[in-house]
Structure 1
């Protein structure tokens, strides 16, 4: 039995209920706003910024140590939706909209969420391994955390490029899509290298990018690695729907 979706090349739209990219944008922005206003409340009550980091951020951002992970194992997932600065969420959401919409238009919305979650998880594992086994990172461990959706966005960027490397975003602009991805890679990796703490996220970016590459390569060969996940989500979200309303093909 296979679940079928209707796919069309639709732009990013807040009114499109089947637009998974829009839903991811809303989740990320909503979480950022909740954290932002919580930090304001902490400040109004006279708490120092460090108190907010200890009480709140430390429970949603991925720590750099295995001991820290064992205390808050859910941070493997929450960290990919959590941004702690305005510039980080702004840049990440712009790239998410760009690459996510591109991939969604060419491969369907059911590729977006499984790839986002899987690459975010792989990126988190690569980050932890890097912090444990790269000697240059050891001195940065006490203050280091993995923040944001960068690994997932890297996967969407590479994945979209695998699917349609020569696609032209603008018909009158003779620039293939892989050039835009290359610019993104240079800017993104460069900004992390120039930041002393950000450089520790490079293993996560590499892990996310490799996940996007392998995931979409397999999809092009007819192997949908997210099929089981999508079937599970479909059943959960349609648990109370009449069976006649399910769009199912045997």
Structure 2
């Protein structure tokens, strides 16, 4: 498997560096950036609402981001089945979800592609939402609560990634503070049991959604072992939509009559920028379609860049 990494370039400033790292970074980087970006935007809107005399900001904003327990309400806010998995209650909620996403997402990318990581995140979140809505519709304990409840958080999506990794590498050990080495399968079982027994103690909907995400992560790995990708259909659809709404990029072929040693500073900087952009395009193509999708010319460019 071909693997390479390029650091972000912050020479154009912080904002330029963030855009560069988002564009050139992995699927894991993009998911974390989106979660942080949504959190910051919501908090800035909350500041404006507060300063203009508004009260109970959470009640004004979050229901339009969170997935409702009542299916009829979901018909009025269908986008929430996606937005809820990128929205957090507070900083601690965001911090712990992003730490788990980073730790297990990094392991995931050692064995699966970035597109599969995105697919598991999205479909794990959707599975969590479906199980949450179904549980509130079925169980009598929620017969009143279902009319005004909604859920937010990346936890179901993160749990899908955690369980995909733990199912794929059940005997892999990680070191847990004050405990020592723990097998991933034991960590997965412990996490699922904690969610299950925590349902009566509060945040029942959240714990139920976590279990829905965990089930999808488990099924994803089982399907991959049978050479079937549960995320394939979704990612193919997203890829087609991306091509539909994006402007086609012109392929850039740059030839220089001058030798590099004969270029002045301005010419060299332009040459270096175009060369880096070409390599980044090739790396993006590898992450989406694999190394074998490269043309002979692209393979030669990549080979020369490593020497």
**Aligned with 2:185 (options 178, 187, 190):** 178
Residue in 2 that maps onto 1:64: 69
Residues 218, 166 of structure 1: alpha-carbon distance in 2 compared, 3 angstrom cutoff: same
| Poorly superposed stretches of 4+, deviation over 6 Å | none
Q: Which range moved further: 135-144 or 62-71? A: 135-144
In terms of Rg, which structure is larger? Answer: 2
1:83 to partner: Cα distance: 1.0
What runs of 5+ residues in structure 1 fail to find an aligned partner? 1-5
Q: CA deviation at 1:232?
A: 4.3
Cα pair 1:119 1:211 within 8 Å, conserved: yes
TM-score, structure 2 as length reference: 0.68
Aligned-residue CA RMSD in angstroms? 2.9
- The number of equivalent residue pairs is 238
- The question of 1:151 aligning with 2:156 is answered yes
1:240 aligns with 2:248: yes
Please tell me whether residue 40 in structure 1 is matched to residue 47 in structure 2: yes
Query: Equivalents in 2 of 1:211, 1:137: separation in Å?
Result: 24
CA distance in 1, matches of 2:4, 2:113: 9
Equivalent-residue separation in structure 1 for 2:45 and 2:198 (angstroms): 28
Structure 1: distance between partners of 2:146 and 2:231 = 34
Cα displacement (A) at 1:192 = 5.5
What does 1:214-225 correspond to in 2, within 5 Å? 214-225=219-230
Partner of 1:129: 134
1:109 & 1:103 partners in 2: Cα distance?
9
Which residue matches 1:163? 168
Q: Which moved more, 1:55-64 or 1:110-119?
A: 55-64
Q: 2:34 aligns with which of 27, 30, 38?
A: 27
In structure 2, list runs of 5 or more residues that go unmatched. Answer: 9-17, 253-281, 294-307
TM-score (norm 1): 0.81
Ranked by relative contact order (alpha carbons within 8 Å, sequence separation 6 or more), the top structure is 1
Confirm or deny: 8 A CA contact 2:195 2:208 kept in the other structure. no
Alignment of 1:181-200 (within 5 A): 181-186=188-193, 193-195=200-202, 198-200=203-205
Equivalent positions of 1:55-94 (< 5 A) are 55-94=60-99
Give the Cα separation in 1 of the matches to 2:197 and 2:46: 29
Residues 196, 208 of structure 2: 8 Å contact kept: no
Given that residues 62 and 145 in structure 1 are in contact (C-alpha distance below 8 angstroms), is that contact kept between their aligned partners in structure 2? Answer: yes
Matched residues in 2 for 1:33 and 1:7: separation? 35
